[in-house]
């Protein structure tokens, strides 16, 4: 799938949060759109995607000059009180265009100079390890969350064929942990996985976040239903992994390797 890249200067880069991200003061999205084009992504059902006029995953808008905008906005925000930032809520900050555009890195450089009270970095890309040097400068105020929904490549290719391979994400998770940075594996949403998956993760991290469509799509699963994700499960004989109680099945398997305090459920795994 070819991605059309465009450039636009944002009128604003820090946005007040609410709902699922109510524990944060602001969200920070370096891009609009996402080339990973995950089939289940809740953003597909948000206005930013519905009214764009092009299929989700085929376009990305680069926020040109975002670092200058951030420098002004965060200084102003810090004058009003604590600043906690979620990066990113509607795009992946380390999608392929970041290799060249480096918008995310430029934003992190600003945050190193103007440290927020807390920064949460959410991605599914191994490119995240490029910025370990910057993360290390604010390691007491940061958490890196790397999405690894399954350990089965056959499953990944059904649901997220344009996303990075699982092996590269596991290596990124290991490298981040090896540098002593606060990191978690996010099974969000839970996809069918093998019984070995919890052991694989436990050998790398001491914290996992477990989420599913019904807790984490912001609408109790209604957005996911409109995307007809259930059909993918049915077509591939995975029906037993779809439903509002599926996180309990995953939870039982994870408890073989993790204690309850190491397993965070849905929203609590993403809060500051």
* Per-residue pLDDT tens listing for the chain (272 residues): 688 999 999 999 999 998 788 889 999 999 999 999 999 988 887 767 666 778 888 999 999 999 999 999 999 999 999 999 999 999 999 999 999 999 999 999 999 999 999 999 999 999 999 999 999 999 999 999 999 999 999 999 999 999 999 999 999 999 999 999 999 999 999 999 999 999 999 999 999 999 998 886 666 767 778 888 999 999 999 999 998 888 999 999 999 999 999 999 999 999 99
Q: Cβ atoms within 10 A of the Cβ of 260, count?
A: 10
Contact in structure between 94 and 122 (CB atoms under 8 Å): no
Residue 79 confidence (pLDDT): 95
Residue 216 confidence (pLDDT): 67
> Which residue's structure tokens are 């993760």?
201
Exposure string for 127-149, b = 16+ CB within 10 A, e = fewer: bbbbbbebbeebeebbbbbbbbb
Residue 54 confidence (pLDDT): 84
Question: Prior bond to 6 cis, omega within 30?
Answer: no
Looking at the DSSP bridge assignments, the partners of residue 7 are 62
DSSP state of 16: E
Distance CA 237, CA 144 (A): 33
pTM, rounded to two decimals: 0.95
Domains and CATH numbers, the chain: 4-269 (3.80.30.30)
Distance CA 122, CA 8 (A): 23
Residue 217 confidence (pLDDT): 62
Q: ∠128-156-244 over CA atoms, to 5°? A: 105
The four Cα atoms 96, 211, 32, 110 give a dihedral, to 10 degrees, of: -80
Which residue intervals of the chain are DSSP H helices? 47-50, 66-78, 98-101, 103-113, 132-135, 153-159, 166-178, 197-202, 213-216, 222-226, 229-235, 246-254
Q: How far is CA 189 from CA 58, 128, 142, 164, 253, in A?
A: 22, 20, 22, 16, 15
């Amino acid at each position: 799938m070819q991605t059309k890249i465009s450039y636009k200067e944002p009128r604003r880069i820090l946005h007040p949060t609410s709902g699922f991200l109510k524990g944060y003061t602001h969200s920070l999205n370096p891009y609009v759109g996402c080339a990973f084009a995950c089939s289940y992504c809740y953003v597909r059902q948000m206005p930013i995607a519905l009214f764009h006029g092009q299929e989700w995953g085929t376009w990305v808008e680069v926020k040109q000059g975002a670092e200058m905008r951030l420098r002004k906005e965060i200084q102003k925000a810090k004058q009003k009180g604590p600043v906690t930032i979620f990066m990113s809520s509607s795009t992946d900050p380390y999608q392929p265009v970041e290799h060249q555009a480096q918008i995310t890195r430029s934003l992190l450089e600003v945050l190193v100079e103007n440290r927020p009270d807390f920064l949460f970095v959410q991605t599914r890309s191994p490119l995240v390890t490029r910025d370990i040097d910057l993360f290390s400068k604010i390691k007491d105020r940061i958490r890196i969350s790397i999405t690894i929904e399954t350990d089965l490549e056959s499953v990944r290719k059904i649901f997220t064929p344009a996303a990075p391979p699982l092996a590269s994400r596991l290596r990124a998770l290991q490298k981040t942990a090896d540098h002593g940075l606060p990191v978690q594996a996010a099974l969000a949403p839970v996809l069918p996985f093998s019984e070995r998956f919890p052991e694989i993760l436990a050998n790398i991290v001491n914290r996992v976040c477990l989420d599913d469509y019904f807790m984490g799509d912001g609408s109790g699963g209604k957005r996911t239903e409109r995307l007809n994700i259930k059909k993918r499960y049915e077509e591939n004989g995975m029906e037993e992994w779809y439903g509002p109680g599926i996180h309990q099945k995953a939870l039982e398997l994870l408890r073989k390797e993790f204690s309850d305090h190491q397993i965070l459920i849905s929203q609590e795994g993403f809060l500051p």
